[in-house]
Amino acid sequence: MARQPVLTFTDRGIYCPPGDFHIDPWRPVPRALITHGHSDHARRGHGHYLCTHQALPVIRHRLGDISASSIAYGEALRIGAVTVSFHPAGHVPGSAQIRVEQGGEVWVVSGDYKTEPDGLAEAFEPVPCHAFISECTFGLPVFRWRPQTETMAEISAWWAQNAAIGRPSIIGAYSFGKAQRLMAGIAPSGPILTHGAVEEITRILRAQGYPLPETTRVTPDISARSHPTALVIAPPSALGSTWARRFAQAEEAFASGWMAVRGIRRRRALGTGFTVSDHADWDGLNAAIRATGCERVFVTHGYTTPFRRWLETQGYDAGIVETAYGGDSEEEEEEATAEVITESGTESETGTGATA
């Protein structure tokens, strides 16, 4: 009798037949192994969730009353005919790559990851495997990040300059992961204020022992008048909103990997953009794949077609996994893709569409 494949690709997500579970499924399934707590990977409706100890508090906060259990990084767990373990992905606190082994054959699902340590999330660890399912949100050579120390110094200088003239600084950053990475890495020039969505996640991570500075949640009595030198960290959707108008004359900025693409800042009418991503850049993706020693690579969400072609030229057996989730932000990914297509003049070289 032929052995079942270790992992297969279905309309509900990545499925393990010999273990009878899915990994980051986008439709309800009985058993889901979850790489991290972002909403495009940890979705409602599953029968039971398994994730790392560090990821579970945020997942419970976001999904409510769920049946869930957690596991330590590196701990081996037998499920059906396979052995699974979770390994640091470096994406956000608690994020993991999931290793699945059957009879000596090893597959690894990366989830989202970045290879440069950020001082907050558990640092990425390469996991040797035969087949690697890798994200490629920023899978084009144009995406190369500066060292974090340089970027954080640039943001710190921007805040200090604004504070020196009595203007608050508002920076848009995703409420889980990037917001906390910024507050932990920027040199202070005043108090740090947070949008409620950011503060809730910050409170959860701080209670888990992650080293985060003191922050103050924005309430109706807080404004530019009361906090003229503050840094305000809010979700991108809050920029330019009624909520943000209390900080009159504030300088606004946006922190995203898409700031590496010309035109995004101009169309969004942002004065300042900082290229900060919790995903691996072009060099990081290639280095991570090499470090696994794998022979087969499946790429998912992002610039899948050009990245797969590149991997084939490097000698890999490469394929594309169709997926229903995106990168940093699906809206920004679509906008950035349109910009790259406009600049290159050809969609075939930059398309993000996932195909079988």
Query: What are the residue ranges of helices labelled H in 175-298?
Result: 178-185, 196-207, 264-267, 282-292
Distance from the first to the final alpha carbon of the chain: 27
With CA atoms as reference, report the closest residue to 312 among 300, 295, 326: 295
Which sign does the torsion angle of CA 250, 256, 260, 264 carry?
A: negative
How does pLDDT run along the chain (356 residues), one tens digit per residue? 567 899 999 999 999 999 999 999 999 999 999 999 999 999 999 999 999 999 999 999 999 999 999 999 999 999 999 999 999 999 999 999 999 999 999 999 999 999 999 999 999 999 999 999 999 999 999 999 999 999 999 999 999 999 999 999 999 999 999 999 999 999 999 999 999 999 999 999 999 999 999 999 999 999 999 999 999 999 999 988 999 999 988 999 999 999 988 666 565 556 689 999 999 999 999 999 999 999 999 999 899 999 999 999 999 999 999 776 654 443 344 334 444 433 333 333 333 332 22
**How far is residue 124's CA from residue 117's CA, in Å, rounded to a whole number?**
7
Both tokens of 129, joined, read: 């495997």
With CA atoms as reference, report the closest residue to 158 among 68, 47, 276, 10: 276
**How far is residue 233's CA from residue 231's CA, in Å, rounded to a whole number?**
6
pTM of the entire predicted model: 0.90
**Contact assessment for residue 212 and residue 180, using Cβ atoms and an 8 Å cutoff:** yes
Cα 201–203–204 angle (5° rounding)? 65
Pairing of strands 216-217, 131-136: unpaired
With CA atoms as reference, report the closest residue to 34 among 211, 126, 136, 26: 26
Q: How high is the pLDDT of residue 266?
A: 60
Q: How high is the pLDDT of residue 4?
A: 82
**Three-state SS letters, 193-206:** EECHHHHHHHHHHH
User: Domains in the chain and their CATH numbers?
Assistant: 8-143+278-344 (3.60.15.10), 148-274 (3.40.50.10890)
**Contact assessment for residue 268 and residue 329, using Cβ atoms and an 8 Å cutoff:** no
